[in-house]
Every structure is written in structure tokens, then in C-alpha cells.
Amino acid sequence: MVMDEDDTLARAQVGAWRQLAGSVRSERDALVAARTDLVAVWPPEENASAAAFVAQLDNLITQLETASADAETTASGLDGIVTALAGAKTQIRPLWEQYKDKSSDLVPNWFDRAENEIDEQARQFMINAERAVQDAATLLKVPPPFEFTIEDVREWPPAKGSARLGPAGIDVPVPHEPVPPLPGAEATVPDGSTGAAVGGAAAGAAVGLGAGGFSVGGAEAGAGAGPGVGVGPGGGVGDRAETVGGAGAGSGAGGSAGSGGDAGAGVGPGLGGAGASAGLGGGAGAGAGIAGVSTAPAGGPDLAGVITPPAPSGAGGVSPLAPSGAGVISPSGPSGAGVLPAGGGAPLPGAAGTLPSGGAAAVGGTPPPAGPATVVPGSGGLPIVGGSLGRPPASIPPASIPPASGAGRAAGRTPLPSGAVIGERTAAAGGRPIGGAAPGTGFAGSRGAAPGAVRADGRVPRPSWLPNDPVGPERHQVMSGGMAQAHSASRRPVKTDEPAGYEAGESWRVAEGVAPVIAPGENGDTHDPGPTLIGRRG
Amino acid sequence: MGDGIRVESDGLTAFSGQVHDDTARTIEPGYSDARVYLDSGVRFGRNNAGGGVQAAKQRYAESLRASSANIVEYMYAARVLADAATSVAAMFDRTDLTAEQRVDYVNGALAAAAVEVQQQFDAAAHAEAMDGHPSTRRGGPAR
């Protein structure tokens, strides 16, 4: 964000403004001197014609005086802006180095939140810089247009009044190429002062499937985001103990957005037998999901994440319901906020109780009543339970409840990494699913990993806009050459033009062949090389 | 023609030459030099997503446009005054007008000079479009 600041041309412009101010001041002083000489021989007090002429001259002198002061003030304002942004760059640079170290250490971010702390520091620097920029911007003067106007022009000599004399000024575009918004953050705060954050479109999806326990579908907010599919244990957690037990097949397409980076998570109560579970909170249930759109509170400039996605600001408690995230599943199909990408979600193997409308669906918007869950008949004739979730039933140990990202986060527990889906995490780690009786498999971001998703090693992926610097301890070696280069030189050279997944020397597989351009003739001609010339005998 | 009129015309002629020289010596080269850097436009906050920075960029671009346009107008206005002074001085030498007529003539000469400067600008702009780059030229009209 500040990588390209402290531009030498920006500094030169400060000097140019000051030079311009000096030139205008010199012109003004010269006109004042010329006026003094003129009125000495052509006093306006005694000649009306001189008064008319000198009035125009005085007007120009006044304008030049104002313009000189404005140019000087604008130079100061520009200097303040450039200095503030350059200062932020200087302050953030070491943080970026720390971030690269932290992002490659053995401790993942979701465990120690080290990257988040660094990002928070960087955000603070940017907030301070933006305030300084806003203060300095008030010094940028926008003068009213000057028009050289002659009034009371008679017919002799024939002429007309004048307006603008010369060409227009320097008209430049406003460059605005902000870094892509990070998950859960808006790219730009329009007014530049309030920093109001508004949730965007829902993104991300998760599908949980399993038996017993409960499923958690929820992906932390991400702008863009492909649907993620996670298969986890089914079951239910509810205020009224909607868990019916048994093998509940649940699917929850999690998705929410919020510039604050927080999002709800879906906890789907499963039904007995082959019933489908429902995703709640930030997740939009594929089978029975309730999407949530969270809106982060305003407060300060939204910087869209300086280094890494901000930590979700979830409230404590197990209740995964986002303030506006819960909804009631309707048999008529998707409704309300939280739109699941078309075709998102995944077919639920063995899940008889998918949404009545079929396939993945976005459900949500309407906060559910705090009372009993809403039961919706599924297409398979089995009920789907979607309802408000609150306290976990006593039968379920709290430790088995995975913390939901966003408003439904369980306080005091290890939070999921950004965009984590339980099934995804389980599958990636090769371990057991969280809070499930039956292990599940899953993956997130089946169509392009959601920006909020984590890598297989549990670390937050590097934002695409960050410099492609090497990270980790080896980066120092890379920078200094030597070992790193020797190490890389010993490796098998990688051909960047090879398609991913192909080995050198392997024939390229193509879907179908193409018509040959050069082919042998079809007339059966033979080639006669002629008699032997060397070593010919007799 | 009385001595007073002669003094006026000499003073006006001297004023015209002085203003032309001062304009060519101060504001025109100063603006031309400054444009070398100012023409590069907004040079900060390109990748910044902050609303405050965006507002600052917009304000700076507007300041750049309005200020530079006014500077150009000041240069032309100074030229107009100088040309009008020359015209008025010539008139004073040729005719014996009443006070009211002289006022009218001054205003008319100023307006005529403005028109002439505009025509000079148009000719200069056309010449620049034909064979040169404006950044390598001085800011004043072709004379």
C-alpha cells in the first residue's frame, strides 16, 4: 500500500510549487513596480482613463499575491502528505520484514496470531498517516477561476469583452490503483473520514456431512471466494437441543462478508437418521443453511488490511448466530441475505434431506426466533432443521464445539484461522474432525480457494498484492546469494513454461489433436538416391 | 497635444515594455519550469485504498488544475495590459480626445488586446500542434 510512496517526483513537485510561488511573487512585485512608475506619469486620481487601466492592473496584482500565497500553502500541504506517507512506509517496512519471518516460522498464525499483531501495528501506522494526510490536504488550495473581464466596452475601438484568455491548466487524472481488498475488508472508504464498513457479498461455502456430533460450516468473509466444501460430522447444537442424533447429513455453505473481517459461522444441528443438518450464522447452508451478513461497526479508516486479514471480532459465547446472520429456512428456496454462488455447494452423498429447491442454496436473512427451531420438510421427506442456535446442549461437551469465526466465536478457545472450514482443516491435517463423532473429509475453496481460507500448513496465505519477496529464513540467503543460489542451482531446473503437473520429457497430453499442417504425399512416390559415388565398384 | 499627454504616452510605452520583460523574466519561465514536475500529476497514494488519501489525491488534482489554469490567465492578463498600454499610448499621440472618450478607448484597448492575445494563443497552439512539444516552450503567447 505504501510501497511506492516517497516518490522523488512528488518531492520535486513540492519544490516546483515553491518555485512557482516565487515566480508569481516576482511577477507581482514587478507589476507593483511598473504600476508605481505608471501612476507617477499617469495619475488615476486625475485621469479617469488611467483609473480604468490601473483598476485592471490592481486586480491582477491582487490575484498574483493570492496565487503566490496559495502556491506556497499548497506546497506545504503536498509536503505534509508526502512526508506522512513516506513516514508510514518507513515504519511499516520493518513490520513487513517481521511479517515475512513470522509467516514462515513453525507456529501458524491461528495459534499465536503473530501476523495479526504485526498487521495491527501496521494498521495503526496507516491510520496515523491517513490522519496526517487528511490534515495536510486542507492546505491544498483550489482557487476560484480567474477571468480577465473588461467591462463598459464601447464600440470604439471595436472589441468584445474577454473571459478566459489562455488554455486550460494542468489537467491530470487521479491515480487510484488500490491493492485488492483483503478478505473481510472493503477496498476504499469513500468519504475518507468515517471509515464505515459495510458488508459485501457473501462468499465462501462449506458443506458438512457426517454422523453424530455437529457440523460447522462457516468461512470467514472473503471478497470473491469460491465455494468451499467441507465434510464433517453431522449433528446439531441448539438452544433447544435440536440434535436428534444419528447420522445427520448436513451441509452448510458458509459465506459472509464484512469489511471488519468478521463473519459468522454456521453450526448445523443435525437430525436423526439421514436428516440434513442446517448451517447457521455466517454459513449459508447448502442443505439447510442460514447465511449471515455481518456489518462491522464504523471506527476509523478502513485500511483493508495492511498486511493480513484482520482478526475476526467475534463475540464470546458459543452461540454462533451473527446479529443478522441467522435465518429461517424456507421450503420455497433461497431467500434473504447470503447468496451462495450458483452451483455452489456439493451434492450430499447420502444426505436425503437437502434443500427443497435442490442443490446448494442461500438461505438466511431473517433472524430466527429464539424459540424452537423451524422445521422444514426436505425433499427426501426428511425434515431439515434450521433454527436459532444458542447454547450448546449439555450433552455436547463445550470443548467439542469448534469456535466459529465471527460473531459466534467461542470465547477463550483457539479460533479457527481465517476462512477455515472444519472439514477442510481436518482433511488437510489428516486428523480428526473437530467436534465430530465421525471423521469427515473436506476441502475448502474447491473453485479457487477462498481468500479467507488457510493453506494446508495452517498459515494464512500471502495476499496477492504483497510483494513477491521470498519469505522464511532462507530469504536472507537468497538476498545475499551464496548458499541459497547454490542450493537452488543444485535443484532440478524448473521450466516455467511447462504446464503444472507435467514432467520434462513427458508427452503433453492434449484433449484432442489438431489437423496436420504438413503431411506426406498420397501418390506413393519413392526416393531414389542414385548410384553410389564413393567406393563404386566396376 | 499638451505635455501631459506626451508624458502619459511615454509612461504607457515604458510600462508596456517593462511588463513584457518582467513577464518573460519571472512568471513565464517559472511556470514553464514548474510544469516539468507538475505535469506528472498526482504522485502519491496510488496504491492506497484509504478514503482520506483518495480525497487528498482528488483535491490535489483539482488544486493543480485550477492553480495552473489561473497562472496561465495571469500571464496572459499581464500581456493584455502591456499590449493595451501600447495601444493607448499610440492613441494618445494621435488624437485629442475628451476624458470620457479616453476612458472608453482604454477599456476598448484592453478588450482588443485580450482578443489579440487570444488569437496569438490560438496561433501558438496551432504551431505547437504542428511541430513541437508544449513542455519545451515558454508559457507565453507567440509574439
pLDDT of residue B15: 94
ipTM above 0.90, yes or no: no
Cα A267 from Cα A215, distance rounded (Å)? 6
Cα A214 from Cα A206, distance rounded (Å)? 14
A162 neighbourhood in chain B, CB within 8 Å: 80, 111, 114-115, 118
- A364, β-bridge pairs: A291
* Residue of A372, A471, A86, A52 lying closest to B84 (CA atoms): A52
Which three cell numbers mark B9? 504616452
* Residue of A152, A45, A479, A37 lying closest to B104 (CA atoms): A152
More confident residue, B75 or A176: B75
Residue A360 near residue A250, CB atoms below 8 Å: no
- H/E stretch holding A101 reads helix A48-103
Cα B93 from Cα B111, distance rounded (Å)? 20
Q: Which of B18, B42, B69 sits opposite A34 (nearest CB)?
A: B18
Q: Which of B49, B105, B107 sits opposite A188 (nearest CB)?
A: B49
Looking at chain B, which residue has its C-alpha nearest residue A188?
A: B49
Judge whether A50 is closer than 8 Å to chain B, CB to CB: yes
Looking at chain B, which residue has its C-alpha nearest residue A79?
A: B44
Residue A370 near residue A390, CB atoms below 8 Å: yes
pLDDT of residue B5: 60
Which three cell numbers mark B119? 488569437
B8 neighbourhood in chain A, CB within 8 Å: 41-42, 47, 50
Judge whether A522 is closer than 8 Å to chain B, CB to CB: no
* Residue of A82, A337, A66, A125 lying closest to A221 (CA atoms): A337
Indicate the burial class of A69 (C-beta count within 10 angstroms; 0-12, 13-18, 19 or more): middle
Cα A68 from Cα A81, distance rounded (Å)? 20
Interface contact flag, A192 B36, Cβ < 8 Å: no
Q: What is the mean pLDDT of chain B?
A: 81
Cα A242 from Cα A321, distance rounded (Å)? 15
Cα B91 from Cα B68, distance rounded (Å)? 35
Residue A98 near residue A116, CB atoms below 8 Å: no
Cα A441 from Cα A332, distance rounded (Å)? 30
Cα A95 from Cα A2, distance rounded (Å)? 13
Residue B83 near residue A164, CB atoms below 8 Å: no
Cα A435 from Cα B59, distance rounded (Å)? 55
Interface contact flag, B50 A57, Cβ < 8 Å: no
Give residues 12 to 41 of B whose Cβ lies within 8 Å of A. 12, 14-15, 18-19, 22-23, 25-27, 29-31, 33-41
A155 neighbourhood in chain B, CB within 8 Å: 108
Give residues 80 to 139 of B whose Cβ lies within 8 Å of A. 80-81, 84-85, 87-88, 99-100, 102-112, 114-115, 117-118, 121, 125
Which of A5, A174, A259, A302 best probes binding to B when mutated, by most B CB atoms within 10 angstroms?
A: A174
Q: Which of A7, A143, A148 sits opposite B44 (nearest CB)?
A: A7
pLDDT of residue B133: 54
Q: What are the distances in angstroms from CA A403 to CA A219, A314, A324, A455?
A: 12, 10, 18, 19
Q: Is the pLDDT of residue B99 over 60?
A: yes
Distance in Å, alpha carbon of B131 to nearest chain A alpha carbon: 18
Judge whether A49 is closer than 8 Å to chain B, CB to CB: yes
Interface contact flag, A9 B43, Cβ < 8 Å: yes
Indicate the burial class of A465 (C-beta count within 10 angstroms; 0-12, 13-18, 19 or more): middle
Cα B132 from Cα B128, distance rounded (Å)? 5
Interface contact flag, B57 A176, Cβ < 8 Å: yes
Q: How, if at all, do strands A249-251 and A276-278 pair? A: parallel
pLDDT of residue B8: 75
* Residue of B41, B32, B36, B47 lying closest to B63 (CA atoms): B41
Split at pLDDT 50, 70, 90, the class of B119 is confident
Please give chain A's pLDDT, 538 residues, in tens: 676 676 788 899 999 999 999 999 999 999 999 999 999 988 888 888 888 889 989 999 999 999 999 999 999 999 999 999 988 888 888 887 777 777 777 777 777 777 788 888 888 888 888 999 999 999 999 999 998 877 666 554 444 444 556 666 788 888 877 776 666 555 544 444 433 333 333 333 333 333 333 333 333 333 333 333 333 333 333 333 333 333 333 333 333 333 333 333 333 333 333 333 333 333 333 333 333 333 333 333 334 444 434 333 333 333 333 333 333 333 333 333 333 333 333 333 333 333 333 333 333 333 444 444 333 333 333 333 333 333 344 444 443 334 333 333 333 333 333 333 333 333 333 333 333 333 333 333 334 334 444 455 555 555 555 555 555 555 555 544 444 444 444 444 444 444 445 556 666 665 666 677 777 776 766 777 676 666 655 4
Residue A201 near residue A180, CB atoms below 8 Å: no
Q: Which of B47, B77, B105 sits opposite A4 (nearest CB)?
A: B47
Output DSSP code: residue A103.
H
Phi/psi-derived region of residue B7, left when phi > 0, alpha when psi is between -120 and 50, beta in every other case: alpha
Give me the sign of the Cα torsion angle A320, A322, A324, A325. negative
Looking at chain A, which residue has its C-alpha nearest residue B28?
A: A23
Q: How many CB atoms lie within 10 A of CB A112?
A: 12
Cα A72 from Cα A82, distance rounded (Å)? 15
* Residue of A150, A24, A42 lying closest to B80 (CA atoms): A150
Interface contact flag, A162 B64, Cβ < 8 Å: no
